[in-house]
Amino acid sequence: MTATLTEPPIATKPTSAPVRERRGRGGATRALWVLPPLVLAAGFFLYPLALVVKQSFVDKNENVGLDVWRDVLNSPSFGDALWNTVKIAVLSTLGCLVVGFFLALVLSFVPFPGSRAVSRIVDTVLAFPSFLIALAFTFLYGTAGVVNAAADKLGLGEPLVGFLYSPWCVVLAEITFYTPFVMRPLLAAFALVPRERLDVAASLGAGPLRVIRQVLLPEAWPALAAGGSLTLLLTLNEFGIVLFIGAKDVTTLPMLVHAKGAVTFDYPGACVVAVVEVALSLTLYTVYRFVFSRTGAGRAGLVA
């Protein structure tokens, strides 16, 4: 009894020398692994970002202050660009969610010849640069595009399709390009839903819409939210499609950065817009992480 009481508790036992040595070696190895990516991140991302932030507070006369921010934030062009950016991103994301959900549903549960090929094509689209879609739209729906040329041959008169230079064309192009970003996680989620679950739901008297609403959608929600959030982030920052479409009066934040930086050479103004764009993206990403950690999607491996 006495011996037990006088013996030091296990938790406070001093760590033996070999264990300490091993831990020391392990820590050094970890540091060696962590250091290169940290250096790369600092050199290629954090430092340029810091420069952009710094530049946004320095006006053309090298005076440091909030004047540039005040000028940019009060300008009508910034307000329009912000509104256009949010409007196009939200509409595109909603479109992607609707179209992506429907296509993923068909590909997963309505087998047809060639469905695997379509699935592969979806994967391929993910690797394309976005401006390709804008270019394709120009060939298809431009004044001298395929659709209007065919309409002209059929004697339908005036250009049949004239929406190429409207904001709606930007939205349509973004839906076309970003829908696979919603479909991919959805296809993965649907692949995990046993077919029997849908069959049994139907046998219990549920029609197709009820099965989709009450059985499939709850299971697809994390994937839908993940794909939708990613699409919203990407469409907020989309530049190639907007530039190539060249829609009239459609200036988004990335376009404004480009205009200020490369056309009017207003670098401080470009930096302010860029910082706003980054802040917008980071805020959205934070909300996305927060929502997912609360809904449990993170535990399902849908949030990195």
Partner 1 sequence: MTAPAIERTASAVASAAPTESAIGIQDLTVRYGSVTALEGLTLEVARGETVALLGPSGSGKSTALKAVAGFLRPAEGRITLAGRDVTYEPPNKRGIGVVVQNYALFPHMRVADNVAFGLRARRVPRAEVGRRVTEALDMVGMAGYARRYPRELSGGQQQRVAIARALAIRPPVLLLDEPLSALDATLRADLLGELQRLRGELPDVAIMYVTHDQTEALALADRIAVMRDARLVDLDATDRLYRRPPSEFTASFLGAANLLDARVLADCTAGDDAVRVAVGGLTVAADPTGAFAEGTRALLVARPHTLGVAEVDRADTLPARLVATQWRGADYRLTCVLEGDVEREIRIDVTDLAAVPALGERLGVALPAEPCVLVPAGAGG
| Residues of the shown chain interacting with partner 1 in the complex, contacts defined by CB under 8 A | 194, 196-197, 199-207, 210, 214-215, 218-219
- The residue (of 73 and 215) whose beta carbon lies closer to partner 1 is 215
Q: Tell me the two tokens of residue 92.
A: 């595109």
Q: Which amino acid is at 165?
A: Y
* Cβ atoms of residues 201 and 215 within 8 Å: yes
Residue 70 has a CB neighbour count (10 Å cut-off) of 11
- Between the alpha carbon of residue 201 and those of residues 14, 114, 204, the distances in Å are 61, 27, 5
Shortest Å distance, C-beta 304 to partner 1: 24
User: Which residues does 156 contact at the CB level (< 8 Å), separation at least 6?
Assistant: none
- The residue (of 30 and 197) whose beta carbon lies closer to partner 1 is 197
- The residue (of 15 and 214) whose beta carbon lies closer to partner 1 is 214
- The residue (of 136 and 202) whose beta carbon lies closer to partner 1 is 202
Shortest Å distance, C-beta 204 to partner 1: 3
Shortest Å distance, C-beta 191 to partner 1: 15
Shortest Å distance, C-beta 293 to partner 1: 18
- Collapsing DSSP to helix, strand or coil, 258 comes out as helix
- The residue (of 134 and 220) whose beta carbon lies closer to partner 1 is 220
* Cβ atoms of residues 100 and 186 within 8 Å: yes
Residue 119: which of 15, 68, 190, 167 has the closest Cα? 190
What letter would DSSP give residue 9? P
Shortest Å distance, C-beta 94 to partner 1: 24
